[in-house]
Amino acid sequence: MTTTRRLTALAVICTALLAAPDILQRATAQQTDEPSEAPDHAMPSAPAAPAAAPAVHRLPAPPDAYVYIGWPNDGEVIRSNHIKIWFGTRNFGVAPAGTDVPNTGHHHLLIDTALPPMDEPIPSDKRHVHFGRGQTETTLDLPPGTHTLQLLMGDAHHIPHDPPVLSKRITIRVMAEKGSEPAAAAN
């Protein structure tokens, strides 16, 4: 009887030992799985941690993408207060604001101002004009004097791409139309 009990006990131990590697492997597998999952779960609970990271996500732009002012030319002297301006892009598409299509954006005309911050939406005011319907030309009314113009593409959310797709900053000289304001024309 005791021998049978011992044999039974041995059988249980042997079974346990044979099963042990499986149990160990499972335990190891669970342990290796846990660390990779842990950071993912931890991320949402600590959104303020990556303080150095930019607040917005900038879409990538191809390195050969560029935008240019087709008219007027840099240094142009314009004898009118109504200035027609047209925009061009190369290796980059124009899409209305709100359109999430890679390698596209809409034009922003910067008038008499420096470039805005690249990691936030482009401001919308008299000096930062959005062409959110995908326009590629406009007519500006500028007072006589020297003015600078520059184009900057923005994505669906008006955020510049990375690298930013921007034109050369050009300078134009606006003169009053002949006969309308002789005093200003001498400026």
Q: Site residues (CB under 5 A) for Cu ion?
A: 130, 154, 158
Question: Minimum distance between the CB of residue 183 and Cu ion, rounded to whole angstroms?
Answer: 38
Question: Minimum distance between the CB of residue 142 and Cu ion, rounded to whole angstroms?
Answer: 21
Q: Which of 180, 176, 177, 114 is nearest to 150 (CA)?
A: 114
φ, ψ of residue 43 in degrees (nearest 5): -55, -55
Question: Minimum distance between the CB of residue 51 and Cu ion, rounded to whole angstroms?
Answer: 27
How far is the C-alpha of 164 from the C-alpha of 152, rounded, in Å?
A: 7
Question: Minimum distance between the CB of residue 121 and Cu ion, rounded to whole angstroms?
Answer: 7
C-beta of 95 vs 185, nearer to Cu ion: 95
C-beta of 147 vs 158, nearer to Cu ion: 158
C-beta of 156 vs 185, nearer to Cu ion: 156
C-beta of 158 vs 161, nearer to Cu ion: 158
